[in-house]
Amino acid sequence: MPDGLLQPAPDGAVATPTAAVELRGVSKRFRNGTTAVSDVDLSIAHGDFVSLLGPSGCGKSTLLRMMAGLSQPSSGRIAASGGAEGISFVFQEPTLMPWRSALRNVMLPLRLSHMAKSEAEARAAEALAQVGLAGFENSYPRALSGGMKMRVSIARALVTKPRLLLMDEPFAALDEITRFKLNNDLLTLWEAERFTAIFVTHSVFESVYLSRRVVVMAARPGRIAADLAVDEPYPRGEEFRTSATYAAHCREISHALSGAMGGEAHA
Ligand SMILES: Nc1ncnc2c1ncn2[C@@H]1O[C@H](COP(=O)(O)OP(=O)(O)OP(=O)(O)O)[C@@H](O)[C@H]1O
Ligand SMILES: [Mg+2]
C-alpha cells in the first residue's frame, strides 16, 4: 500500500500523531461504470475500533479492500500508517485450506514470510489458544464448526501481530449465540493486543456492541452518511448488551441508517 500521505515529520520537527488509516477524496469506479464509492474522507485513529455499517451494495467491502491495498482507488488517496506489512484481513468466509490442519493454516502467513518452522508452530499454537482452540491444532477444517473455522481465520489474521485488522462481515453466517461469543472474544483480543480494528457489518446491534465509532454508509453511490461515537467503556459484556444506554445507541444508529437508506425500494 502506498504510504505517501502519512509522511514522517521532517528532521527536527515535532512529529504529529498520525492516523492508522487515512482516506482523502477516495472514489472507486469499476470498469463497467459502477461507482462503488464516491469522495470518501475518513481518518481512523490508532487503536480505535470502528464499524462500517450500511446496506448491501453501499461499498463497504470495496472500501475495506482499498484500505488493505487489495484494490486501488480511481481517485483520491489512501494511506495506512506503517504500510501494508502490518495489515491483516478477515473475510466473510473462513477461507481455510481444507488439506491443512488448523495449526498449519495459521502457520501459513508466518511461513510465507520465511519464519523458521519451529517458531511458526509455536506462534500458531499460541494464536489458536488465544481464540479458544487449544487442543484443535491437528483438526482439519471439515471437522470444525462454522464458528470454529472463523476462530481459525481470526487466529491466522492475528498470528502476524497486525497493527490493523480489517474484518468484512466475519460473523454474518453464524448463529446469534456463536456470534455473541465471538464478539466478546474479539473484544478481549482487541483490548489485549491494541490493534486498530475496522469491522464491516450489516448489524446495528453488532456495530454498537463492538465499536467506539460507527461510520454509517449510504448507497448509489457509496458514501459516508453519518459518523457516530459509541463512547462507552470497555470491557463490554452482557450488562452493556442489555442496558438502556446500549438501546439508546442502537436507536440513534438505526435512525441514521434509515436516513441513509431513505427513498430506497430495497436494501
Ligand atoms: N469488481 C466489481 N466490478 C463491478 N462492480 C462491482 C465490483 N465489486 C463491487 N461492485 C459494485 O460496487 C458496489 C459496492 O459493492 P460492495 O461489494 O463494496 O458493497 P457492500 O457494501 O460490501 O455490499 P454487501 O453488504 O452486500 O457485502 C455494488 O454496486 C457492487 O455491485
Ligand atoms: Mg461486502
- Name the residue with cell 475518513: 42
Ligand 2 centre and the CA of 119: distance in Å?
Answer: 35
Ligand 1 centre and the CA of 138: distance in Å?
Answer: 36
In a domain, 120, yes or no: yes
Can the peptide bond before residue 235 be classed as cis, meaning omega within 30 degrees of 0?
yes
In a domain, 123, yes or no: yes
In a domain, 117, yes or no: yes
Ligand 2 centre and the CA of 55: distance in Å?
Answer: 9
Atom of ligand 1 minimally distant from the CA of 202: 25
Ligand 2 centre and the CA of 219: distance in Å?
Answer: 12
Domain housing 143: 92-162
Residue 23 host element (H or E): strand 21-29
Helix %, strand %, coil % of the chain (to 5): 35, 20, 40
Task: Kindly report, residue by residue over 162-194, the tens digit of the pLDDT.
Answer: 999 999 999 998 899 989 999 999 999 999 999
Q: Can you tell me the mean pLDDT for 143-154? A: 95
Task: Report pLDDT for 83.
Answer: 80
Residue with CA nearest ligand 1 atom 24:
56
In a domain, 256, yes or no: no
In a domain, 56, yes or no: no
Residue with CA nearest ligand 1 atom 18:
59
* Sign for the pseudo-dihedral over CA of 157, 159, 160, 161: positive
Task: Kindly report, residue by residue over 58-109, the tens digit of the pLDDT.
Answer: 999 999 999 999 999 999 999 998 888 899 999 988 899 999 999 999 999 9
Residue with CA nearest ligand 1 atom 7:
30
In a domain, 241, yes or no: no
Given a cut of 50, whether residue 137 has pLDDT beyond it is yes
Given a cut of 90, whether residue 13 has pLDDT beyond it is no
Residue with CA nearest ligand 1 atom 11:
36
Kindly give the residue spans of alpha helices, DSSP state H, lying in 204-243. 204-210, 238-241
Can the peptide bond before residue 233 be classed as cis, meaning omega within 30 degrees of 0?
no
Q: Which residues line ligand 1 (CB under 6 A)?
A: 30, 32, 34, 36, 54, 56-62, 202, 222
pLDDT band at 17 (very low <50, low <70, confident <90, very high): low
Task: Report pLDDT for 6.
Answer: 43
In a domain, 255, yes or no: no
Look up residue 68 and give its DSSP letter.
T
In a domain, 41, yes or no: no
- When divided into structural domains, the chain yields a total of 1
Residue with CA nearest ligand 1 atom 17:
61
Span of 47-51, 79-83, 109-113 with lowest mean pLDDT: 79-83
